[in-house]
Every structure is written in structure tokens, then in C-alpha cells.
Chain A
């Protein structure tokens, strides 16, 4: 029989470190169903019978955030045999507040107090046996980082797991305890277990709607409960939630040594913060740090490694040697192409970014682990709140200017579910380094460089930022994002030296996640695109083998017969060519060298081009194919244009865009804002953990891209050439809808409702 133990604790309490120390590599990492919350499970290193579940870091079990809901549901539904509650010793009061909520579940518990070394450095010695006595459960001092005391915690948890939690913890005042007992009597019935009754009574006392609906009480009983609550509220002159919360804290304050509040004088952290969050220095310092991160990760070392991966490792070593090997094995040429160019080439193009990303992840993990990231959020919050996001959204967007994939993955640190969703949906708008060639192509070749080109390149960033800002404002107004707004409350942890173990583990985990995706989504997509490029459905049957006047077949300079595209040579006994056979291509076939039949991709491009007509660049199917290829990697867009044009990029402007700068700008806007590359789509899918939301994100991005290009192009040609059509009207309608959405007051904002209520109360007070 295996034992289930849940690990519960505040964010930043060292919970993940403890989990890693206990389980080592025996981990399963996934997601809790339906939410973007990571689920980690593992077996204890030295006792495989014990399954440890790492519940998300939470401050409370109220529950309002998805993390809290996940944690609560686990505790209620999965009935773990024991709880290990990890507590930050430097912050006992708030951490033990969660402990008091855990008491209500009646599950045997062990408390592990972490960071005791810091507490001791402050000259405070905790009386653990006294604390253990007042809390009524084992309390063990640990150092998760140094793996000190962790075995004792696990052993203790295993030994208490066989016990029933018999200790009746009465932490509230007698009046509240009396009310809870009375509520318990009302709801008590055979199907509610005794140890659940306590928790249920507290929830009912707090008027938790969800629980109320769940247990389905009769109106009579509901009225009785309401009577108990309101009579107590009257005597306290407070509402039940405040009574419960205050009394929990009162209980904690009573048992905790006041001295642990510590820190009256300036600590090292305060001194650093004096500079880092200084009114004048904060932003320049921040810019400098980010510049350094970028310079290392994208600019110098990262670029070098990526070039090596792309050009040398894949370009010179892997692809040629695989091709040679396959040819040696006499594999059909199309299969060689499919494997070497399609699969390996496609995956390689994406894997090429791995070194850059690993360096970026490493540097960001260091900034995160030492405590600087929360300072960035603190500094930038004011700016981002203007358009409905929080300071924490800034980090993903900043990273996305290098590459969208780590940017989207960085959104995981945002606690508010809605902010996180909007951040994931908009991070892709920031022009990443792979989109820069598109901008330079349009600026350089279509606009002919100069001041117009410079204006457009700078404009590209503004378009990206404007898309983020407008999306933030608009999306916040939709009901799906209105939900429960949680306030921006954030801890600024003390600075400390980053722990190598944590930094490398988090870098490795993120990097590995990306590589795994490259092996699945990206592999399939690359293969499909390659097939699209190399397969044709068009029937051709003409043979093109030239015959000399004397009836012999044309040979090239070296005496080899020139084989026509659709001809198979027939050799005589002496090895000379005696004739040829027409080969007919009917239905699905591979395109061989020089074949004139249209590839599937071209056919698709022609269809898609119809949709791009109103945007201006739909007149050439090549521009559409380039856009589709951008799904593989945004670098492909310009690459494909170069390949498809007769004279390379030089002449492509005339060929595909009629030299019109409006068409060029429209093409650029669409490609900057539309659905990102497959790698980023994979990241979106991972972070959203929900098919519907992934599609919604892609749809939203592409829709906005279409609208922005349409408005720019149609209104552009109206002013420039005075051309007016049905699409001009559509463009104006789209623009009007957009402006309406942008400026209409938010209907669903709960913050506004709170404000209104507050204002009324204030007036009443006066």
C-alpha cells in the first residue's frame, strides 16, 4: 500500500527545493486538469512506497486563485494520509496562518520550518518543542537547500500518516467555536465524515457560496445557519470572514515568538534596495541589467552558439552526413529529402535556438532566484496597470523581444490567472529577433531604405507594443477575463545568492520542455510543410527529351544523356539510349527537379492569397506562401521570398508587391502580428493547457493582424490613390469597432464595483 503525502506551503518557502531533495529524479511533472497550474508528483528517494504531491505555493485556502482551488480540491477529494507543511522561519506569522487553515481538514500534519539559519543569524533561537506543543503536531527544523533535516520530516510524516488526527484544535475564541459547533450540528449527517465537519462548518460560517451549493442544504437549515452567523456578526460588529481571518491571526500571534519579526535595523537587502529601487536609479539600472542579459544571451555568446548549431552542426555535419548515409542505403530520393530537409532541417532550425534560450533561461533564473525579478515587477507595475496588466507581465514581454518561446514560458510567474492568459495571448505581438528580417526586408527593399525605411523599422516595435497595450485594454473588458480580480500583492523576498542547484534545475527543465516540443509539434509541422512544398496534385504528361536532327538524343558536354523531366530513358543492350518513355504524373506525386507542376503549397498559397486580396499583398501567391512558411519559423518568410523570386530579394519587391510600399507595410504588419511560429504555438499550448484557449489565442492574433493590415492598406490607398471600394467600408467599420472596444467603459470590472461601493460608504460616513 502506498502512502500519499501532500506538500503544502507559501510561495518562496523553499517548497520546491524540499520536494526536489526528497524525490530526486523520481518526478512526474504535468498540469492539474484544466488549469495552467503545474502538478508535480514523485516518490521519495529511499522509500518508493511514499508518493509525494507538491501542491502549488499558496498563501491561503480561501480559495480564489486557481492554485488555491487546486490545493483545496486535492486535500478534500484525494484524502492524503499526511501533510508536510513547509513554513518559512523568517516569516512565521503569515506562514502559520495557512497552517491554521490546514488544521481544519483534520489530516495528520508535520511542520517543517525552513530558513532557520537566517533566523539564527538574527540571533533568535526558536523554542521548537514549545511551538510543537502549542500547534499540537511535530515541528522539525530543516534546511531544504542543504538537505538538512529533510529525512526526519519525511519519516515523521510517514509515522503520523497511520494515525487519525484526534487532536481537536480549537483555535478560535469560545464564541466563534460555539457558533461553528452549532453549524456543525445543523449540517451533521451520516454521509459527512467527522473530520470533514470542522472544515465544512468553517466554510459555511464564511458563507462560501460554492460549498453552500455543493452540499445542497434545505432552506430551513440554510436559514438556521444564517441566523447563527448574523447573531455573531452583530455582537462582533464585523462580518464573518473578517472574524475568522482576524482570529486565525490572533491565534498565530499568541503562539509565535514576537522576536522572529526581527529586522529593525537596515539589512543588506534594504541597502541594495535603496539603490535598486531608487527613484532615479531604478530604471537606468534595470535597463543596464537587461542590456547585459541580452548582450550575453542573444548578442554575443548566444548568437555564436546558435550560428554554430544552425550552420555548422546541422548545416555541415548532420544533414550532409545523414543524406550521404541514406543515399548509401539506396533510400528513395524523396525519402532522403523528407528526412534530411523536411524533418531534420525543420527541427534543426528550431533546435538552433536552444543554446540562446538556455543562456537566457540561465541568466533569468539567476535574476529570479536572487530576488531581482520581483523588484522589476515592483518598478514597472505602475506602467503596466494602465492597460490592465501587472508589473509581472513585463518580464515575459521583455524576453519575447528576443524570442517569444521563453517569453511565453516566463508568464508562469504571474499569479493572477487572467493576467497570465492575457500575457500569453499578447506576448507574441512583440517583434522577436526572427521577425527582424521581415522588417529589414520591407524597410530595405520595398521602401528603399532611407528615412522611410528607418521610420518603418522603428514603427515595427511601436506596432508590437501598441498591439499589446490595446489588447490588454480590450481583452480585460471581456467577461472571460473579468473573473475574480485578485489584487496585486507581492512579496519582495530578501536578496540572497542564487543557489546553483535551483538555477540549473530550472534552466534545464525549461530547456528540456522546449526540446521535447521540437520533437513533436515542430517535427510534424516541418514534415507537413516539406511535403506541401514537394508534392503536387496536378497532372502532367508531356515529355521533354530533346532529340537531335539525326535522331540521336541530346547529350551534355560530357557525353551524358540529358534526361527530360518526365522521361525515363530506355537503354539498349550496348548501354546506349534507344528510346524513352513518357511518364505521366497523375494525382499525387513528388516534384522532381525542374518539374513544372504546382506544388500543394502553391495551390494552398493561391487559395490563401484570395483572403489576403483586401490586404494588398494577395495579388501574388508567393507572398501568401511566405506567410504560411512563417509558421515554421519567422526567418522563413524572407528566406522563402528570396527563393521564389527570380532575381532574389532585389527584384522581389517588383515581382510580388508591385513596388507598392503600402502593400509592403501591410505585409509586414500582418506577419508581425499574426499567429507565431510553431515553437511559440507549442509554448502557448503548454502554458494555456487548454485547447480552446490555444485556438482562441491564435485566432485573436491572426484576427488582429488581419484587421490592422486591412485598415492600414485600405485607408492608405484611399488617401494615396483615392480608391474606394467595398473593402474601404469594411476597413472603416473594423476601425470603428476597434475604437469602440478600446474606449467603451468596462462593464464587468469588479474593481469599479468595489470603488463605487466604497465611495457610497464614504459618503454615508460623512
Chain B
């Protein structure tokens, strides 16, 4: 899955950053690199962009850019299936 599909409250682990050029470089420069855990904090009122917690700080990323980040779920958000649940 990609970061775009993550839900609010999810914690995901980055597998790879796809794409190329400046956007990809920028995403990585801001700390979204292989192996890092990302917590999806909230979504803007109109559904885009996301607000993430990466490496202890908050970052807004558009869904279009989030598509470039391949992730796997570490834990699901509390709002999914009613409670927190560990997947791995």
C-alpha cells in the first residue's frame, strides 16, 4: 500500500520512496526514509492534505505526494474497527 491509503490514527512503516527528482528528494530530506515510522495525525477539513508525525515533528503532505511513499501498516487507527489493533 502507499501512504495515501493510510487512515487517520494509523502508524505505518516506510518501505520505499518511489518517483524521482526533486519531489522525491524533498520527501526524503524531510525525514521520510526507508524504515521510519509515520503516524497519521489528521486530515484537513476538505480531505487533503494529511498531517503526519515523522521523527517527532509534524508535517503536512498532499495525498498526491503521499502516493509516492510505499508503506506497510504497523498499527491501525483507533477509529478503524472500533479499537487499536496490532497487525504485525
> In whole angstroms, how far apart are the Cα atoms of A299 and B29 in the complex?
44
Proximity bits, B7-46, A CB within 8 Å = 1, else 0: 0000000000111111111111111011110000010111
Chain B's nearest CB lies how many Å from the CB of A230?
A: 16
Chain A's nearest CB lies how many Å from the CB of B68?
A: 7
B82 within 8 A of A: no
> In whole angstroms, how far apart are the Cα atoms of A280 and B45 in the complex?
7
Contacts of B74 in A (CB 8 A): none
A-B contact pairs, 22 of them (CB 8 A): A59-B26, A60-B29, A62-B25, A91-B55, A93-B31, A246-B28, A246-B33, A249-B33, A273-B42, A282-B45, A378-B44, A378-B49, A379-B45, A379-B46, A381-B62, A486-B23, A487-B61, A488-B60, A489-B27, A489-B30, A492-B51, A761-B18
- Our pick among B21, B28, B56 for the contact of A484 (Cβ within 8 Å) is B21
How many chain A residues touch B (Cβ–Cβ < 8 Å)? 50
> In whole angstroms, how far apart are the Cα atoms of A42 and B9 in the complex?
46
* Residues on B facing A (Cβ under 8 Å): 17-31, 33-36, 42, 44-49, 51, 55-62, 64-65, 67-68
- In chain A, residues 89-120, which have Cβ atoms closer than 8 Å to a Cβ of chain B? 90-94, 97
> In whole angstroms, how far apart are the Cα atoms of A488 and B61 in the complex?
6
A489-B59 contact given A282-B45, A378-B51, CB 8 Å threshold: yes
Proximity bits, A234-251, B CB within 8 Å = 1, else 0: 000010011001100100
> In whole angstroms, how far apart are the Cα atoms of A293 and B42 in the complex?
27
What 3 pairs across the A-B complex have the smallest Cβ distances? A261-B56, A60-B29, A382-B46
Chain B's nearest CB lies how many Å from the CB of A716?
A: 37
User: Is B68's CB under 8 angstroms from A241's CB?
Assistant: no
Proximity bits, A53-68, B CB within 8 Å = 1, else 0: 0000001101010000
By beta carbon, the residue of chain A nearest B63 is A382
- Our pick among A60, A94, A761 for the contact of B55 (Cβ within 8 Å) is A94
A168 within 8 A of B: no
Most chain B beta-carbon contacts within 10 A, residue among A245, A263, A757? A245
Contacts of A241 in B (CB 8 A): 24-25, 28
> In whole angstroms, how far apart are the Cα atoms of A167 and B55 in the complex?
28
A383 within 8 A of B: yes
User: Is B22's CB under 8 angstroms from A485's CB?
Assistant: yes
User: Is A487's CB under 8 angstroms from B26's CB?
Assistant: yes
A97-B29 contact given A385-B62, A488-B61, A488-B65, CB 8 Å threshold: yes
Contacts of B35 in A (CB 8 A): 246
A754 within 8 A of B: yes
A260-B28 contact given A381-B49, A487-B62, CB 8 Å threshold: no
User: Is A754's CB under 8 angstroms from B45's CB?
Assistant: no
By beta carbon, the residue of chain B nearest A281 is B45
A751-B64 contact given A486-B26, A487-B23, CB 8 Å threshold: yes
User: Is B44's CB under 8 angstroms from A242's CB?
Assistant: no
Contacts of A277 in B (CB 8 A): 42, 44-45, 51
User: Is B42's CB under 8 angstroms from A249's CB?
Assistant: no
A24 within 8 A of B: no
User: Is B23's CB under 8 angstroms from A754's CB?
Assistant: yes
A607 within 8 A of B: no
User: Is B49's CB under 8 angstroms from A758's CB?
Assistant: no
> In whole angstroms, how far apart are the Cα atoms of A59 and B25 in the complex?
11
Chain A's nearest CB lies how many Å from the CB of B77?
A: 15
User: Is B28's CB under 8 angstroms from A381's CB?
Assistant: no
User: Is B56's CB under 8 angstroms from A62's CB?
Assistant: no
A491 within 8 A of B: yes
> In whole angstroms, how far apart are the Cα atoms of A94 and B27 in the complex?
12
By beta carbon, the residue of chain A nearest B34 is A246
